[in-house]
Amino acid sequence: MHKRLLLLLTAIAALAAVAVSASVAAIPTASVAAAASCATVTDGQLTVGTDNPAYPPWFGGGSKSSWKINDPSTGKGYESAVTYAIAKQLGYSKANVKWTYVPFNKAFAPGPKAFDFDINQISITPARAKVVSFSSSYYDVNQALVVNKGTKIASARSIKGLQSFKLGAQLGTTSYTYIKNRIKPSQQPAVFNSNAAAVLALKNKQIDGLMVDLPTAFYVTAVQVPNSKILGQFENKGGSTDRFGVVLAKGNPLTACVDRAIASLRANGTLKRLQQLWLAKATGAPVLK
Question: Is residue 86 domain-resident?
Answer: yes
DSSP string, 169-219: EETTSHHHHHIIIII--SSPPEEESSHHHHHHHHHTTSSSEEEEEHHHHHH
Count of helix runs (H) and strand runs (E) in the chain: 10, 11
Out of 234, 253, 279, a domain closes at 234
Question: Is residue 227 domain-resident?
Answer: yes
Same-domain status, 59 and 193: no
SS3 50: strand
Domain span at residue 279? Answer: 46-140+243-288
Q: How far apart are CA 169 and CA 6, in angstroms?
A: 79
DSSP string, 12-34: HHHHHHHHHHHHHHHS-HHHHHH
Question: Is residue 50 domain-resident?
Answer: yes
- The two beta strands, 209-213 and 143-148, are antiparallel
CATH number of the domain bearing residue 184: 3.40.190.10
Question: Is residue 269 domain-resident?
Answer: yes
SS3 136: strand
Identify whether the C-beta of residue 171 lies closer than 8 Å to the C-beta of residue 105: yes
Per-residue pLDDT of the chain (289 residues; tens, 9 = 90+): 444 434 434 444 443 433 333 333 333 333 333 444 799 999 999 999 999 888 888 998 654 455 556 789 999 999 999 999 999 999 999 999 999 999 999 999 999 999 999 999 999 999 999 999 999 999 988 899 999 999 999 999 999 999 999 999 999 899 999 999 999 999 999 999 999 999 999 999 999 999 999 999 998 998 899 999 999 998 776 555 689 999 999 999 999 999 999 999 999 999 999 999 998 776 668 888 8
Same-domain status, 156 and 191: yes
Question: Is residue 76 domain-resident?
Answer: yes
Strand spans (E) along the chain: 46-50, 97-101, 117-118, 132-141, 143-148, 167-170, 190-192, 209-213, 228-234, 242-249, 287-288
Question: Is residue 32 domain-resident?
Answer: no
